[in-house]
Amino acid sequence: MNTSKWYKIFGLLLVVISATIYFIHYLIFDDTHHIFIYLLGDIAFVPIEVLMVTLILHQLLTYMERRNKLEKLNMVIGVFFSEIGTKLLCFLSDFDPNLDAVRHELVVTNDWIDEDFLDTKKRLKNYNYSVNIQDIDIEKLRTLLGEKRNLLIQLLENPTLLEHESFTELLRSVFHLLEELVARGDLSNLPDTDLDHLSGDIERVYGLLVGQWLNYMHHLKNNYPYLFSLSMRTNPFDTSASPVVK
C-alpha cells in the first residue's frame, strides 16, 4: 500500500470515528442544538490549530533539526581539520610568497567577535592564493595526502556533507589533487607545463582550505571554547603559536 492511499484511508477512518461519536451523543442526549454549537466551535478553532502546528511548531521542529544537522556537520569538519586540514594548510601556506601581507589577518585570538570573522572573510575574497610550485616538495605532499586517502573517501561518502556545498567542494578539490599526484609515477622531473597544471590544483585547494578553516574557527569560538583554545595554539598562520600553554 503506497503512502498516498494509506493517508486517504486513515483520513476517512478519522471522519467516520468523529461522525460515530457525534451520532452516539445524539442517541444519548437527543440534542442537535448543542452538537452543532460545539461542532461550530471546534471548526472555528481549526485555523488557530493550523497556525500553531504548521507555522509555529513546524518552524520550531525545522529549526531544531537544522541545528542537529549543523552540529553533526561541524563534527565531520572537525575530524577533517584534526586529521589532515590543519597540516595541509600549514604545509601549503609555507610556500605562499605573499603570506606576510595577510598573515596578521589570520591570527585569530580569543578577542575576536562575529564581525571580525566576517570582515576577515570579506577582505580575503580578493586575496590571490598562490604558491611557489618550484619550492614545494611534491613527493612529500603526495605522501601527506595519500596517508589520509581512506579518510577523504569516507568523508566524501558521508551524506551529511551533501548540505554543505562549499566544504564538499573543498573535499573534491583535495581528492582531485591526490589523484593527480598519484597518477604520476616520478614527480622529480615534471615539465614546467605540468607543474603549472599542478600549481592550479594546489592553489584551488589552498584558497578553499583557508575559507573553510576560518568558518570552522568561527564555529569553535562560539560553541567550543576548549577546542578553540587548542586551535588558536596550533594556528598555522601564527609564527609564535605553540600547543604548550604558557
Do 223 and 143 fall within a single domain? yes
pLDDT at 112: 94
Count CA within 13 A, CB hemisphere, residue 21. 8
Based on the domain organization, do 32 and 88 belong to the same domain? no
With respect to residue 41, please indicate whether it lies within any of the assigned structural domains: yes
Q: Are residues 200 and 125 in the same domain?
A: yes
Residue 174: the pLDDT is: 96
Of 188, 3, 155, 176, residue with least CA distance to 78:
155
Q: Dihedral through CA 166, CA 104, CA 71, CA 91, nearest 10? A: 60
What whole-number distance in Å separates Cα of residue 37 and Cα of residue 229?
Answer: 65
Please state, as a whole number, how many other Cβ atoms lie within 10 Å of the Cβ of residue 152.
Answer: 19
Residue 244 lies in a domain: no
Which range of residues forms the domain containing residue 28? 3-61
Domain boundary among 13, 28, 61: 61
How much of the chain, in percent, has pLDDT values that exceed 90? 53
Residue 240 placed within a domain = no
Query: Does residue 198 sit within a domain?
Result: yes
Tens-digit pLDDT profile for residues 54-67: 777 767 777 677 77
Query: Are residues 193 and 87 part of one domain?
Result: yes
| Residues 57 and 76 placed together within one structural domain of the fold | no
**Maximum CA pair distance of the chain?**
99
Contacting residues for 171 by C-beta, under 8 A, at least 6 apart: 80, 152, 155, 156, 161
| pLDDT tens-digit series, residues 100-144 | 999 999 999 999 999 999 999 999 988 999 999 999 999 999 999
Q: Give the residue from 141, 226, 208 showing the smallest Cα distance to 169.
A: 208
**Residues 57 and 79 both lie in one domain:** no
Q: Is 197 part of a structural domain of the chain?
A: yes
| Structure confidence at residue 13 as a pLDDT band (50, 70, 90) | confident
Mean pLDDT of 185-191: 87
pTM assigned to the model: 0.74
pLDDT tens per residue across span 218-228 = 999 999 999 99
Q: Are residues 55 and 100 in the same domain?
A: no
- CA 223 – CA 215 distance, rounded (Å): 12
Residue 148 shares a structural domain with residue 210: yes
What pLDDT shows up at residue 64?
74
Residue 246 belongs to a domain: no
- Statement to judge: residues 109 and 182 lie in one domain: yes
Q: Hey, how many other C-beta atoms are within 10 angstroms of the C-beta on 236?
A: 21
